[in-house]
Each structure stands twice: as structure tokens, then as C-alpha cells.
């Protein structure tokens, strides 16, 4: 189809797969990534398969970069139908050692970036009669391993931001949903310099009720569904794509 899709963090990992999946369906894909090498590599790959694609260097936590991303998209393709807020980072350290700058960095990329991209894209969707925004959250919004405070808090924030945006933007026919992936193995979707085969064990797979660790395609297919006409009654929702891990009760 002729949809114009922005994928943030579209250079590597889940975003790389989402960008390729939408391009295969005929969408015009804008890859927004801070990593030029990864972004340009994915842009070239999509074009080599006959897809229509544009890479725009973007740090989603910087307002001038987000403005530039939206300007370049409108200049090139004339409209924006879909925004996939996928760019995200984790953090190191613990609450005892982590400098506050690290907290700010994670919140700024994951949460502020998601809000800011939505803020600058929404007017164009409104003027074009509607659109779809998908925010990539995480099952870490609901459960934790130790030492993930900035990441978990940012993802919990994204879930709340999603229903808030869904209500505000409903008047302009913009649907807003989030996807919360669980364990998704992305090592085969890194830029070629970093790509390596995953070292997954049987135990890794079998602990999942679905019988396997997740793949970027699982998230990309959920994005396709949420953007489709079949999902026109779904807004403000969070779709968990985790092979059943968050509903599995564990007693050891
Ligand atoms: P990844 O590190 O493989 O890829 C992330 C991409 O985002 C990279 O290309 C990176 O350059 C880009 N990026 C980082 N900071 C950026 C910034 N400031 N501006 C623009 N681009 C930036 O990560 P991934 O595993 O593919 O994760 C993608 C999304 O899915 C993230 O939001 C992550 O939190 C979420 N997620 C991943 C998993 C998983 O198991 N892989 C699970 C749950 C949620």
C-alpha cells in the first residue's frame, strides 16, 4: 500500500525488522536512528529489495532532531500515516552506583523521545485525516529483574502515555497502542559488523509457555496487525507479545 511509516530505532534489532516488514508490504519507510552505520545499512538493504526508504539521522531525545525528522519525512513523502516509537535503551549500575545522568538519559530517550516524536507527528496525521501510533514498551513495565529502575520506569511511563495519547488524539482519528515484548532475540538483526548467531539453550526456549524465545518478526507482525483496518476498534491498548511469560506463575 502507499502508507508512510516512521520507525524510530529502525537501524538495528526489532526496529530493523519492523522497517523491513512494512517495506515488504509496500509502505514507504523512514528509518530514524542515532546510529548512521546501522540506519544506512538497513536503508540500502530495503532499497536493494525494491522498497522505498529514507534514513534520517535522529536522536529521539533531541527536539531539533525530531523536528528535522518530521520535516524531511513531509518534504520527501508528503504525509505520515504511521509512527512506531521503537527506539529504546537500557542502563547499567544499581540504585547505589547509578549516577542521576544515567536515569535522565534512559527516561529522555525512552519516554521523552516517545512523547516528542508523537507530538511532532500528530499534527500531520490530524491534517491528513488520521493515523496510527505504536509505542514499543516492555513486559518490564509490569515485572522486574534487579537493577532495571530507569528502564522499567520508562516503560511503565510509556504504557500510561499510550492511553493518555489515545484519548487526546481520538478526536483526530489517531489510534495509539503499545506493544510489550518479552524476551526477543535480536542478535541476528544487528548491523553486519555486530551481528552474531544467538547462543540460546533448550532451557531458554522451554521456559516460555509458547515453547520458544521471541523473534523480532513476532513484534513486527503485531505492529502490522495494530496498523490494519482489522484493528480499527483497538486504541489505548497494550498488546503483550512474550510467549506467555508474564502470566506464568513460578514457584521454586
Ligand atoms: P537494539 O539495541 O537492538 O536496537 C535499538 C535501536 O535504537 C538501535 O538501532 C539504536 O541505534 C537505536 N537508538 C538508540 N538510542 C537512540 C536514540 N536516542 N535515538 C534514535 N535511535 C536510537 O534494541 P531492541 O532489542 O531491538 O529494542 C527495540 C525496542 O524494543 C526498545 O524500545 C526496547 O526497549 C524494546 N524491547 C526489547 C526487548 C528485547 O528483548 N529485545 C524486550 C522488550 C522491549
- What CATH number has the domain bearing residue 162? 3.40.50.720
Give the span between the Cα atoms of 175 and 149, in whole angstroms. 29
Residue 96's SS3 state is coil
Catalytic residues: 151
Average confidence (pLDDT) per 10 residues, the chain, 252 residues: 96 98 98 98 98 99 99 98 98 97 98 99 98 99 98 98 98 99 97 90 98 98 98 98 97 86
Residues paired with 179 in a beta bridge: 136, 239
Which residue has a Cα nearest atom 7 of ligand 1? Answer: 9
For ligand 1, mutation pick of 7, 8, 14, 41 (most atoms within 8 Å of CB): 14
Question: Which residue range is the domain that position 206 belongs to?
Answer: 4-247
For ligand 1, residues with CB inside 6 Å are 8-9, 11-15, 33-35, 38, 58-61, 86-89, 109, 136, 138, 181, 183-184, 186
Phi, psi (deg, nearest 5) at residue 158:
-65, -35
Residue 161, in any domain of the structure: yes
- Cell digits of residue 196: 552474531
Give the total number of structural domains in the chain.
Answer: 1
Residue 201, in any domain of the structure: yes
Residue 222, in any domain of the structure: yes
Contact predicate 212/243, CB 8 Å: yes
Contact predicate 139/88, CB 8 Å: no
pLDDT of residue 198: 86
pLDDT of residue 1: 76
Residue 60, in any domain of the structure: yes
Which residue has a Cα nearest atom 33 of ligand 1? Answer: 88
Residue 252, in any domain of the structure: no
Give the span between the Cα atoms of 109 and 153, in whole angstroms. 12
Find how far residue 12's CA is from the centre of its chain: 11
pLDDT of residue 171: 98
Burial 224-233 (b: 16+ CB within 10 A, else e): bebbeeebee
Residue 24, in any domain of the structure: yes
- Parallel, antiparallel, or unpaired for β 82-85 and 52-57? unpaired
Give the span between the Cα atoms of 45 and 207, in whole angstroms. 34
Ligand 1 atom closest to the CA of 38, numbered from 1: 9
Ligand 1 atom closest to the CA of 10, numbered from 1: 9
Q: What is the ipTM of this complex?
A: 0.99
Give the span between the Cα atoms of 25 and 23, in whole angstroms. 5
pLDDT of residue 232: 98
Residue 103, in any domain of the structure: yes
pLDDT of residue 195: 86
Amino acid at each position: 500500500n502507499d502508507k508512510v511509516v516512521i520507525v524510530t530505532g529502525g537501524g538495528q534489532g526489532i526496529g530493523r525488522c519492523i522497517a523491513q516488514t512494512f517495506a515488504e508490504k509496500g509502505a514507504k519507510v523512514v528509518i530514524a536512528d542515532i546510529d548512521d552505520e546501522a540506519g544506512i545499512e538497513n536503508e540500502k538493504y530495503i532499497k536493494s529489495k525494491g522498497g522505498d526508504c529514507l534514513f534520517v539521522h535522529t536522536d529521539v531525545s533531541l527536539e531539533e532532531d525530531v523536528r528535522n525528522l518530521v520535516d524531511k519525512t513531509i518534504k520527501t513523502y508528503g504525509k505520515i500515516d504511521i509512527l512506531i516509537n521503537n527506539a529504546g535503551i537500557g542502563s547499567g549500575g544499581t540504585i547505589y552506583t547509578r549516577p542521576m545522568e544515567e536515569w535522565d538519559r534512559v527516561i529522555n530517550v525512552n519516554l521523552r523521545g516517545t512523547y516528542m516524536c508523537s507530538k511532532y507527528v500528530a499534527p500531520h496525521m490530524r491534517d491528513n485525516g488520521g493515523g496510527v501510533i505504536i509505542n514499543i514498551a516492555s513486559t518490564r513495565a509490569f515485572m522486574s529483574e534487579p537493577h532495571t529502575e530507569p528502564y522499567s520506569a520508562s516503560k511503565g511511563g510509556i504504557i500510561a502515555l499510550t492511553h493518555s495519547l489515545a484519548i487526546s488524539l481520538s478526536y483526530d482519528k489517531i489510534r495509539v497502542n503499545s506493544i510489550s515484548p518479552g524476551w526477543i532475540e535480536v542478535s541476528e538483526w544487528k548491523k553486519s559488523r555486530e551481528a552474531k548467531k544467538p547462543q540460546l539453550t533448550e532451557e531458554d526456549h522451554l521456559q516460555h509457555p509458547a515453547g520458544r524465545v521471541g523473534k523480532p518478526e513476532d513484534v513486527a507482525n503485531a505492529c502490522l496487525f495494530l496498523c490494519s483496518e482489522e484493528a480499527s476498534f483497538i486504541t489505548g491498548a497494550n498488546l503483550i507479545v512474550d510467549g506467555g511469560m508474564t502470566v506464568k506463575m513460578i514457584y521454586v
